A and B are shown apart, each in its own frame.
Chain A
Amino acid sequence: EPEVTQTPSHQVTQMGQEVILRCVPISNHLYFYWYRQILGQKVEFLVSFYNNEISEKSEIFDDQFSVERPDGSNFTLKIRSTKLEDSAMYFCASSEIQNLNYGYTFGSGTRLTVV
């Protein structure tokens, strides 16, 4: 079964450093998403991406965050200057056709620890 692949599985970074989280969505999917889950809390939407642009973003997704699809396969989330409160599990997801809504396929997540 096709998978969404995220790398790395765990990233430790110093506060103030830039970090890039990488995702390879399922090849025929057109919509891409990032979600965040702070330990012990609910999963929160960050951003959705379609046709090489952001289609929706939450209030969490401020100027410190950016997304990019640099080539035909990767989808990245960049945090420019990490803060302690950015420590969380970050999930990438993709979906095939938004309105038919077969549901998202999530990756296994990247655990980001900011020290």
Chain B
Amino acid sequence: AQTVTQSQPEMSVQEAETVTLSCTYDTSESDYYLFWYKQPPSRQMILVIRQEAYKQQNATENRFSVNFQKAAKSFSLKISDSQLGDAAMYFCAYREEYGNKLVFGAGTILRVKS
């Protein structure tokens, strides 16, 4: 079974600085999808960014970018110019290419200091 590991239970970053959240996963599949979801205190799950495993180019969405290392099975999220509104729980998630379900990591709490 696929597993997703987020080794950082909690991270802090100064406003306007850059922070990287780590995620590793285990799979025997060659094609799959990876996601980062943000969960603010409201508890809603918000898609931040996604990456298709067959694409070598790292996905970017404004201040959010990923470092996808397929061979290492690593999928880190970089947040540039951190803002107070970025404070949330961040979940890394995996999905098989033809799968039904997302497999989530345990999450990383991001605190942003002003």
Contacts and interface: CB of A to CB of B under 8 A. Distances in A.
Given A33-B101, A48-B101, A98-B100, A43 B43 contact: no
Given A43-B91, A101-B95, A58 B101 contact: yes
Q: In the complex, which of the residues A55, A89, A98, A104 has the most CB atoms of chain B within 10 Å of its own CB atom? A: A104
A42 B91 contact: yes
Contact of A103 (B50, B91, B104, B106): B50
Contacts of B46: 106
Interface residues of A, number: 28
Nearest to A3: B44
A65 interface: no
Given A42-B91, A55-B100, A56-B100, A109 B44 contact: yes
Contacts, number: 60
A108 interface: yes
A51 interface: no
Interface band, chain B: 20 to 34
Contacts of A75: none
A19 B89 CA distance: 28
B45 A98 contact: no
A44 interface: yes
**Shortest 8 CB-CB contacts between residues of A and residues of B:** A106-B45, A48-B100, A45-B101, A56-B100, A43-B104, A108-B44, A42-B106, A103-B47
Interface of B: 33, 35, 37, 42-47, 50, 52, 91, 93, 95, 97-98, 100-107
